[in-house]
Structure 1
Amino acid sequence: MLAILREITIPCFFTSYLIVLVLELLRLLGRIPGRGLAVIVMMTVGLFTHVCYVLLRATSIEGVEASMLATWLDWSLLLALALAISFFVFYLMRPDTIVSFFFLPAVLALIAFAVSVRDLPPFTRTEAVEVWRNVHAVSMAGGSAAVLVGFLAGVMYLVQSWRLKRHRAGSALRLPTLETLGRMNRRCLVISTVAVGLGLLSGVVMNLNRWGYVSWTDRGVMLSLLLLVWLLGASAVEFFYAPASRGRKAVYLTLASLGFLVLALVGVLTTPHGQAEKGAAAEPGATIESTTATTVIEETTP
């Protein structure tokens, strides 16, 4: 099976996305039976082959200095994958829209750009670690901020709801409407889910570039993963269950998300995961590099 997947090339998913764009352009000719199903099938094929190609590139690196997902080709394909997934989610939620006219050309352009820069040299492991560390830090900080903003919007939603029931909402101390607060809460839920997911993914790549493995049993990692699972579940419940009560339901889910966020932060700050390194020599990569340098010196010394 793995041998078959290794035969996947960039033209595989590029062609799939191009076919989807053509199918979407056929909207202009009128209603065509089976077009929507064909779009879903071809997008599924495109995303599957796209993900397989990126993962196989990431796991096929060789050598001490080899870096994972640290070339312009890799990053362009990752950005194209993010856009393709976003389009597919939008399409499944609102298949009657024409967002494909905007998303798919951008996806195809990014893939074409990736092909044009595939011969550029990759970044070193040290540079790759630094880049992915920055992505990890910014993403986790953004996700945490979104959870906190959603929490505050949820508290205001509950206060405003309480005031409306008691006919006190018209006082001098006014709050945004329930619709505005509910909409803000849902957006924060989505943003925090995406940001925390990106933060975990970049953290995995960072550690694989640095150490060659990921310590999944680390308390900070486990709690961060638990936070992501909760946010994914909360987002699914918010958007696909009991639409009549979305506002209040999203508030309670966001309030619970704050608890998971606090647990994750405590786990990170009380383990080496969130503490500064005590020395570069502690890194396996640094040990290997210093050993290699020593060997070279010994061999070249007369």
Structure 2
Amino acid sequence: MLVFLGKISVTCFFASYIVVLILELLRFFGKIPGRGLAVIVMMSLGLFTHICYLVLRAVARGATSDVGMLASWYDWSLLVALGLAICFLIFYLRRPDTVIGIFFMPLVLATIGLSLAVRPMAPFSRSEAADVWRSIHGISMAVGAGGVLIGFLAGVMYLAQSWRLKNKRAGSSLRLPTLETLARLNRQCLVVSTTAVAVGVIAGAVMNLNRWGQVGWTSGGVLFSFGLLLWLTVATCVEYFYAPASQGRKAFYLTLASLGFLVLAFFGVLNSPHGRTVPVDQASVVSEDAA
């Protein structure tokens, strides 16, 4: 199986994305039976080969001591293209009747073309790669935490506005956004926080691999971060696929639980080496243990 996957190249997913673009352009020639299913199949195939290519490339780089994993402009351009492709598939599954493919796919293909143009550039060292991925990890986790907090505030305001409407006090001098606006804001914050935390967790894993040669799965900070990501993913799925009578209350309760997970993750990080600077003498010991 690994021998077969090792034969995957940029051409594989680039060709899949081109087919998706052609299928999207066929919209202008009338309704074609099976076109939508073909888009999903080819997009899934492209994403699978795209992810396999990056993972195998990272594993191969991991065997090299002086070169960082996913630490070149080539790798980062392919990661951006992967993110755009995933966003397109999500949007397409939600609204298959739209023509967003003719806007997304050219950008995805152009980004892959950019990666090929910058491929001759030398990759960064492991220490430089760790610094870059540390910045991405920190910024992403901060954005994710901010999204959870803003979503929580939106939920609190939703409950306050709902109570005021029931008691006919919405016309007072204290004005709040409408229930629809607050529910939409809460939902958007949930999606943003889930996406940001996912990027942060992946960046943290790559950072640890570049620094120590291992992820450190048993670390409290890593475990709580993965727990937060898992809950946010479940909450997002519940938000979009479960429709009770009160949408706003459901979103608030999900965000309240997310806030609880965020607090646990925060204390888990602070009480583990994951959230503290490792002294130089301890860093050498850790690196020797990782080896």
**Counterpart code for 1:31:** K
Letter of the 1:137 counterpart: G
Deviation at 1:281, TM superposition (A): 6.1
Q: Greater Rg, structure 1 or structure 2? A: 1
Question: C-alpha distance in 1, partners of 2:26/2:209?
Answer: 44
Matched, 1:50 2:50: yes
Q: Measure how far apart 1:219 and its partner are.
A: 1.1
Question: Counterpart in 2 of 1:267?
Answer: 268
2:13 aligned with 1:13: yes
1:4 aligns with 2:4: yes
Following TM superposition, by how much is the alpha carbon of 1:202 offset from its aligned partner in structure 2, in angstroms?
Answer: 0.1
Determine the C-alpha separation between the residues in 1 that align with 2:103 and 2:245: 31
Alignment TM-score, normalising by the size of structure 1 = 0.93
CA distance, structure 2, for counterparts of residue 164 and residue 284 of structure 1: 62
2:209 matched to 1:208? yes
Match of 1:294 in 2: none
| Separation (CA, whole Å) in 2 of partners of 1:286 and 1:235 | 38
How far apart, in 2, do the equivalents of 1:198 and 1:94 lie?
Answer: 24
CA deviation after TM superposition for structure 1 residue 217, in Å: 1.0
Residue 115 in structure 1 maps to residue 109 in structure 2 = no
Match of 1:65, SS? coil
Quote the sequence identity (%): 61
Aligned residue for 1:133, secondary structure, equals helix
| Separation (CA, whole Å) in 1 of partners of 2:64 and 2:37 | 44
Residue ranges of structure 2 left out of the alignment (5+ in a row)? none
**Partner amino acid, structure 2, of 1:204:** A
| Structure 1 residues 113-145: Cα deviation after superposition (integer angstroms, max 9, x where no partner) | 111111110011111000000000000001001
> What corresponds to 1:279 in structure 2?
280
Q: How does 1:116-265 map to 2 (within 5 A)?
A: 116-242=117-243, 244-265=245-266
- State the TM-score, normalized to the length of structure 2: 0.96
Alignment RMSD, CA only? 1.4
Q: Distance between the aligned counterparts of 1:80 and 1:53, measured in 2?
A: 13
Stretch deviating more after TM superposition (4-13 or 273-282): 273-282
Q: 2:37 maps to what in 1?
A: 37
3-state SS of 1:60 partner: helix
SS in 2 for 1:153: helix
CA contact (8 A) 1:156 1:181 kept: yes
Alignment of 1:65-80 (within 5 A): 65-80=66-81
Question: When the two structures are aligned, how many residues end up with a matched partner?
Answer: 288
